Amino acid sequence: MSAEQADYDFDRWLAAFDGNIEVFVRLREEVQYAVESAIKASGIKAHTVVSRVKSRESYREKLERKQYADPMQQMHDIVGARIVCLFPDDVEKIGAILGDTFEVLHFDDKGKGISPEIWRYVSVHYDCKIKNIHQGPRYDDIKDSVFEVQVRTILQDAWANVEHYLAYKGASSIPASLRRDFSALVGLFHVADKSFQQIYDQSQALDDQASQEMLATHRPPANDAHDKIDIDRSTVKALCKQLYPDRRQSPDSAYSDFVEDLATVNLRDLDGLQELITDGRKEAEEREATYLANHQGFQPLTDIGIARLAVSVVVPEFKQLQRERRIRPTAYE
């Protein structure tokens, strides 16, 4: 122990930590709830939202390193949350959400200004407080406490976790024999993160294109094989939006599952699918109405639910496939 550490009043600040542990726990719960609620309302898909109160051992270790004059005020990560999102563009969007939800005192983009060979720990950190508009007993003890929120992508999180296990803190600590591989891996993760964003953007653009160009008007059936439009997630989503504009829209995964099942029974072009749905639509809607009349508390089918039911009415192979896979188009969510 150094002379400075010997003079530092660890007992005082450990006692302060112990005396405030219930406040820290309540602050963590409030932060977790507020972050989850705000992200859900935004429509952004977060991979994980986790929060924690720093352990007593970790708190003491940081006291030994930093020796804050007043750690209760200066150690901003006693309570912390981490948001792991899917795409790089979501990092900035979530930052804006945090600004709307909390009072942001400071933010630090760990990825800015570092060497391009280093991709470590590039999350964005926000020091925050509960906004003053929140009053009353629920907030009185926690509204003045600062907490930290980290935001990173799922690939940045994977890198950080593996790097933490390997315990390399920078380029100098990496053995020379590993530096080339380490550098290549940095580039691979960087490209993968950008590529996932590009794929997502292109996927959304294809959805828009399918809706605007293909299905904005009623298309006549294609007369030539070259004019036929293949079934994929985007085209099926657009078709369902046109045929069932008043029904609940399904998640993207449901359109993909439907396409895969249609391909299994060799249904691959959009005109053919539209014709099948049209042929089975009346009977499917009659079955739906009968089911709802005899079962209380159920909602009408989603667009994919009614489309599946319509196809199963006129294509026995598709109906059998759904039975084999235990897909129940009459299950009203």
Asked whether the CA dihedral 236, 241, 247, 253 is positive or negative, the reply is positive
* Residue 99 Cα distances to 47, 56, 103, 322, angstroms: 20, 30, 6, 46
Is 167 in the same domain as 50? Answer: yes
Which comes out higher in pLDDT, residue 88 or 180? 88
Phi and psi angles of residue 169, each rounded to the nearest 5 degrees, phi first: -95, -5
- Biggest CA-to-CA distance, the chain: 89
Q: Is 142 in contact with 22 (CB distance < 8 Å)? A: no
Exposed / middle / buried, residue 134 (Cβ in 10 Å: 0-12, 13-18, 19+):
middle
Q: Is residue 110 part of a domain?
A: yes
What's the half-sphere exposure (Cβ side, CA atoms, 13 Å) at 260?
A: 8
* 170 is a domain residue: yes
Whether 235 and 158 map to the same domain: the answer is no
CB 202 within 8 A of CB 224: no
pLDDT score, position 2: 56
Could you give the percent of the chain with pLDDT greater than 90? 64
Out of 148, 177, 206, a domain closes at 177
Q: Please report the pLDDT score of residue 98 as a whole number.
A: 97
From the CB of residue 119, how many other CB atoms can be counted at a distance below 10 Å?
Answer: 23
pLDDT of residue 60: 94
pLDDT per residue over 221-239, tens digit each? 444 544 678 899 999 999 9
How does pLDDT run across 278-324, given as a tens digit for each residue? 999 999 999 999 999 998 888 999 999 999 999 999 999 999 998 88
Structure tokens, 186: 């940095």
Q: What domain count does the chain have? A: 2
**172 — pLDDT class (breaks 50, 70, 90):** low
Report yes or no: 275 and 313 within 8 Å, Cβ to Cβ: no
Q: Is residue 278 part of a domain?
A: yes
pLDDT at 77: 96
List, in sequence order, every residue forming a beta bridge with 126; answer none if it has no partner.
107, 149
- Which one of 115-119, 166-170, 174-178, 233-237 scores highest in mean pLDDT? 233-237
DSSP code of residue 106: E
**Residue in the structure block whose two tokens are 């993968």:** 192
Q: Give the range of the structural domain holding residue 102, as residue numbers without chain letter.
A: 3-177
pTM of the predicted model, to two decimals?
0.72
Tell me: do 24 and 139 sit in the same domain: yes
Choose one of 157, 177, 197: the last residue of a domain. 177
Lowest mean pLDDT among 27-31, 210-214, 262-266: 210-214
